A and B are shown apart, each in its own frame.
Chain A
Amino acid sequence: MLIKRLTDANGLPGFECEVREIIKEEIKPYVDEMYTDRMGNLIAVKNKNKAGRHIALSAHMDEVGLCVSHIDKDGYIRFHSWGVDARILPAKIVRIGKDRVVGVTGTKAIHLQDPEERTKALPVDKLYIDIGAESKEEAEKLVEPGDFVAFDSEYVEFGNKVKAKALDDRAGCLAIIEMLKSDYPHKLTACFVVQEEVGLRGSIISAYQIDADLVLNLEGTIAADTMSIKEHQTVNIQGDGPSISMIDRTSIYLKKYIDALTEVADKNGIPYQFRRSQMGGTDAANYHVAHGGTPVVGLAVPCRYIHSPVSIVDKRDLENFLKLTQKFVFAYGNGEIL
């Protein structure tokens, strides 16, 4: 299954190769041309000579994780965190580098912690990865500073949900891949970008390589719908449909384009919800202001426990996310909206 292959692959910021190769292989029969730019963004064009409206789709290939910063004399690995909540780091299984060296994030045993330590989360600089090495020399044979560290968390289905790592934003990558498999009456550019999780960096470059009339940015976003969350704090509720962005930390989405998206959803009976938080940023920020300004629509799948090894999406949301993306692109390309 494609979503399993995408989420089981590792793609830390700057090391998106594994994910990119899967995507390339998957979309090759359906696009006219594709290339990887200097930063690693994969850009593919379908119907390259079709006149009329040109829509671009963007999703990021990278995921949150850790990066090896130092190997100490006893062979323990110290690391930086890229977008991961430090409180969830202890006692995780991780995979380091291309060879997927196994490690665990070790901590002091609870027996040895004083009462105050027990009430506090350990900061990243107190944590380490144990790869079973007994000396620096032994560890250095397997790992070197700069290696990426991904969570070891396999794709699992249960009930209406799926659990995996990196659903933010492999769900977006999946939507674009599926899109490319259909035929369209117009030109379509797909951007699979790098380094979103470390500051929306890949899209700074991709935004200037495309010249689309409209960009649809596809994301995995926050679902806050679990116990003890007050009604007004539910950023998105799983099962209520894909989430439409109005405002976030890096963009305001223009009303005209939001209205066009809801029009398509209403017409096709696809459920949707609005994203009810302004925290978090997306690549939309860079597309919005590229060239003389480009309209951007933001659509996302709500993920529980996002930025952790065990993020969860609802299968129905994922299905409606793909459906709405496709209907919107068709309607826009045919000039039915906007």
Chain B
Amino acid sequence: MNEKLLKDMCQAFGPSGSECEIRAIIEAEIKNYVDEVTTDVLGNLIARKKADAPKMMLAGHMDQIGFLISHIDEKGYLKFANIGGFSEYALFNQRVKFKNGTIGVIRSERVENMKADFNMEKLYIDIAASSKEEAEKKVKIGDTCVYCNETYVDDNIIMTPALDDRIGCYIMIEAAKKLKNPVYDTYFVFTVQEEIGLKGARASGYTVDPDYAISFDVTGSFDTPNALKFPSKMGDGAAIKIKDNSLICSPDVVNFMEKVAKDNNIPYQFEILTIGGTDSGAIQMTKGGVKAGVVSVPSRYIHSDNEMCSVKDVENCVELTVKILETRIS
């Protein structure tokens, strides 16, 4: 586990639409392992390892959920719009940080009725400014902020506010480093604006025009006390997606990924979700259609400031990705 890289990536600022900082880290890290790196108009980072072979597009999204400031009141309190899906219950009392380092906390005054008081109407961000003028010195309308929490890593688990989807980007980078004999013309695409509707993947999928696509993202871990009955569980291996709300993965790709995992003794499990979506959902529909799959990391508490996953699962995902890129789909 490259703990420093993972921590740097998870702490980098990058809500949808503002992926500049995280993109710079990824670009610096991957450029020596690929033949060319470009950034497109929406901000997608496209790193290509060339080969005279079918095109394989790997996609992981750089953006994280966050908040956009929509109003600053006379007393210096900020009203905000959400970027990506949140439960309002998870927002209360969260510390947030802005790109320029400004820190704030999401609050409402009193909580008497959870339903009435934990909604966007009542919640505000307090950056401890005493007036509108003072607040405007630190934050402007249109600025964005994200959950502020440290990234914790030990031998077993990772806990961080930006696991979704820095962990997918991390897996792609580590796979690029370990890749010895690629059998595809491989595009490592680090996408933007996934959290607001798979935007970056739709544009970059069109640019790359791949034969196959695999995206990398977090998925649910259904092993908590009242979990729904779905197969993926933290610690049980790399998850091969069968379906979510954005796509049904191509059976050819699913079967291929399972075979690669089996042949190389890599622990794996299947994943089925009835909610959520990921980049492959958009790439699959590019032009005349693309055979697409997803490698997922089972994670608890997604879209909170303590998203959690297993270190072993991440390592297995890297291993599986390397082997996928070294094996032709027949």
Contact = CB atoms under 8 A, between A and B. Distances in A.
Interface of A: 231-232, 246-247, 250-255, 258, 274, 276-278, 285, 288-295
A278 B16 contact: no
Given A254-B43, A258-B142, A292 B18 contact: no
A246 B68 contact: yes
B253 to A, nearest CB: 23
Nearest to B18: A255
A254 B142 CA distance: 10
A276 to B, nearest CB: 4
A293 B142 contact: no
A288 B203 contact: yes
Interface stretch (B105-113, B193-201, B244-252): B193-201
Interface in B30-79: 40-44, 68, 70-71, 73-74, 79
Contacts, number: 78
Q: Give me the 3 closest cross-chain CB pairs, A-B, nearest first.
A: A293-B203, A292-B207, A252-B17
Nearest to B199: A289
Contacts of B196: 251-252
Contact of B203 (A252, A254, A255, A289): A289
Interface in B269-323: 282
Contacts of B16: 252
A241 B133 CA distance: 22
Size range of the interface on B?
A: 20 to 34
Interface of B: 16-18, 40-44, 68, 70-71, 73-74, 79, 81-83, 141-142, 193, 196-197, 199-200, 202-204, 206-207, 282
16 contacts: A231-B73, A232-B70, A232-B71, A252-B196, A255-B17, A255-B18, A274-B142, A285-B197, A288-B203, A289-B199, A289-B202, A291-B206, A292-B204, A293-B204, A293-B207, A294-B41
Contacts of A231: 71, 73-74
Given A252-B196, A289-B199, A277 B81 contact: yes
Given A231-B73, A232-B73, A292-B203, A255 B142 contact: yes
Q: Tell which of A231, A232, A253, A291 has the most Cβ of chain B within 10 Å.
A: A232
A291 B207 CA distance: 7
Contacts of A274: 70, 141-142
A276 B193 contact: no
A258 B142 CA distance: 9
A258 B204 CA distance: 22
A200 to B, nearest CB: 12
Given A252-B83, A254-B17, A278-B68, A291 B203 contact: yes
Contact of B42 (A232, A254, A255, A285): A254
A276 B68 CA distance: 10
Given A254-B42, A292-B203, A247 B83 contact: yes
Contact of A293 (B41, B68, B81, B82): B41
A254 B204 CA distance: 16
A246 B203 CA distance: 20
Contacts of A252: 16-17, 83, 193, 196, 199
B81 A278 contact: yes
Contacts of B70: 232, 246, 274, 276-278
B203 A276 contact: no
Contacts of B40: 292-293
B41 A295 contact: yes
Contacts of B193: 252
Nearest to A281: B197
Q: Tell which of A232, A246, A292, A295 has the most Cβ of chain B within 10 Å.
A: A292
Nearest to B43: A254
A276 B141 CA distance: 9
B149 to A, nearest CB: 23
A158 B221 CA distance: 60
B71 A276 contact: yes
Contacts of B71: 231-232, 276
A285 B196 CA distance: 11
Contact of B41 (A247, A255, A277, A292): A292
A274 to B, nearest CB: 5
Given A232-B79, A247-B83, A278-B82, 14 more contacts: A231-B73, A246-B70, A247-B68, A247-B81, A252-B16, A252-B17, A254-B42, A274-B141, A274-B142, A276-B70, A278-B68, A288-B199, A291-B207, A292-B41
Contacts of A250: 197
Nearest to B44: A293
A288 B42 contact: yes
A252 B194 CA distance: 11
Nearest to B20: A255
B230 to A, nearest CB: 28
Contacts of A292: 40-41, 203-204, 206-207
Contacts of A255: 17-18, 142
B206 A246 contact: no
A55 B123 CA distance: 40
A288 B70 CA distance: 22
Contacts of A246: 68, 70, 141-142
Q: Tell which of B40, B43, B44, B71 has the most Cβ of chain A within 10 Å.
A: B71
A202 B278 CA distance: 25
Contacts of A247: 17, 68, 81, 83
A231 B141 CA distance: 14
Contacts of B42: 254, 288-289, 293, 295
Contacts of A285: 197
Nearest to B201: A289
Contacts of A278: 68, 70, 81-82
A59 to B, nearest CB: 22
A131 B203 CA distance: 49
A247 B17 CA distance: 10
Contacts of B41: 292-295
A271 B199 CA distance: 31
Nearest to B208: A292
